[in-house]
Amino acid sequence: MEPIHFTQLDNLKESQEVCEIHNIKKVQLGNMAAFCLACQREKLDAENRQMEREAGEREHKRRTVETLKRDSLVLDSTIANATFDNYITDNDETAHAKLRARQIAADYLRTDKQFNTILAGNPGVGKSHLAMSMLKAVNETSNPYRSCLFISVNELMRLIKDSFNNPQSRYTEANMARLIGAADLLVLDDLGSESSFRTESRESSEYTQQLLFGLLDRRARTIITTNLTSAEIERIYNPKLVSRLYKGADGHVIKFTDKTKDQRKIVF
């Protein structure tokens, strides 16, 4: 039935038919079939409630599911398309890593599971691929929705430092701390890259350490990828930051050894 406009209400005529639901006489407009005004009001109310629910659902998805694609800082475009399905296993180590990553992702679906995960090993062995796959698995299957975020540590530091001269940047320290702090599950990718490019020492800067400490201190569910060993992490970073990195990570470390080669290496 077409909606009735207010100007048409004056032309309504009472019919002899009675609504079986509300026990009131139906009305008629021109040659239209008789209808119940109370039924029409209930139908409109139901439609309005449905529209409100759909609008709320869209807004909720914007704040959760869509966070991964909209707000992540991913340097390698191939990682944006990473999934468990396209992760190639070529030995026992990569097969075990994929299985363990799936198991941990399933644990992250439970809100009572609060722990960090560390994926460690040489560059190019698939740590970032598995980390993104874990995020996508949680992002796509969580009920209710969870917000997931993938952040390259090196890119994060670059953008924040660039914002020092641009207060209007969306990548200010305050904005990024708020965004990262709100994520239900976070990947900090390539921890240590921010220090390995420093020429004067292998130590991460005090500012970087303070920033990372502030981000991790309020979190209980973070996936960290790194090329560093535990000994290198403990040498480069402040013990308080190391403690936050290792929070709940016991039993949740996926370690690649020399058995797995750099998949991106070109031999010529």
Q: Pick the more confident residue, 122 or 194.
A: 122
Continuous segment of H or E residues that includes residue 190: strand 185-191
- Give pLDDT tens digits for 113-159: 999 999 999 999 999 999 999 999 999 999 888 999 999 999 999 99
Give the length of the chain: 268
Residue 201, CA distances (Å) to 23, 197, 204, 238 in order = 85, 9, 8, 15
How confident is the model at residue 57, as a pLDDT?
64
CB of 184 within 8 A of CB of 71? no
Work out the average pLDDT over 107-111: 94
Structure tokens at 131: 């980390």
How confident is the model at residue 52, as a pLDDT?
79
- 6 Rama sector, left if φ>0, alpha if ψ -120 to 50, beta otherwise: alpha
Identify the CA nearest to 174 among candidates 133, 214, 126, 122.
Answer: 214
Domains and CATH numbers, the chain: 6-61 (no CATH), 65-255 (3.40.50.300)
CB of 113 within 8 A of CB of 106? no
Beta bridge partner(s), residue 185: 148
Q: For CA atoms 18, 23, 25, 31, give the dihedral sign.
A: negative
Is the model's pLDDT at 262 over the cut of 90? no
- Give pLDDT tens digits for 8-62: 566 788 888 999 999 998 898 888 889 998 998 899 888 888 887 766 566 656 6
Is the model's pLDDT at 73 over the cut of 70? yes
How confident is the model at residue 201, as a pLDDT?
45
Burial 90-110 (b: 16+ CB within 10 A, else e): eeebbeebbebbbebbebbee
Contacts of 130 (CB under 8 A, 6+ apart): 82, 84, 87, 97, 98, 101, 119, 254
3-state DSSP assignment of residue 228? coil
